[in-house]
Amino acid sequence: MAMKIRLARGGSKKRPHYSIVAADTRMARDGRFVEKLGTYNPLLPKDSEDRVKMDMERVKYWLSEGAQPTDRISRFLEAAGVIEKKERANMQKAKPGKKAEERAQERADKATARAEAANAPAEETPAEETAE
């Protein structure tokens, strides 16, 4: 039986509350689980102690039995110091594509050209006055 330590969603609409559970991977996300290991309340501030509560002894037991933590749970465990930090691929999804970068570069070039054009006549006018 393949086990996962994962989040099971509870709470009402737009007010999530999660239970940290050890469950068979074949069961539904909010379905049957073997044991409840803790809670996670994302609505609380990040520095709050009540945001993530876990029974560490039971979590360590399930990890020793071969249960795999999901990505979010592994981040909680890394923050608690139970498991070592993993190297993660830093996907650059927020980075704009090539065409958008080209358009931004063109805008920046035009803006610098305008700024130079605005500064150039201002510098030339005092020179002309001194020549007279």
Residues 6+ apart with CB under 8 A from 51: 40, 41, 42, 44, 45
Residues in the chain: 132
Query: Percent of the chain having pLDDT more than 90?
Result: 61
pLDDT in tens, 64-110: 999 999 999 999 999 888 888 888 777 777 788 889 999 999 999 99
Average pLDDT of the segment spanning 27-40: 93
Task: Yes or no: say if 34 and 87 are a contact pair by the CB < 8 Å rule.
Answer: no
For tokens 């749970």, name the residue: 73
Residue 16 DSSP label: E
Helix (H) or strand (E) holding 115: helix 98-131
Residue 102 DSSP label: H
Strands 68-69 and 52-54: unpaired
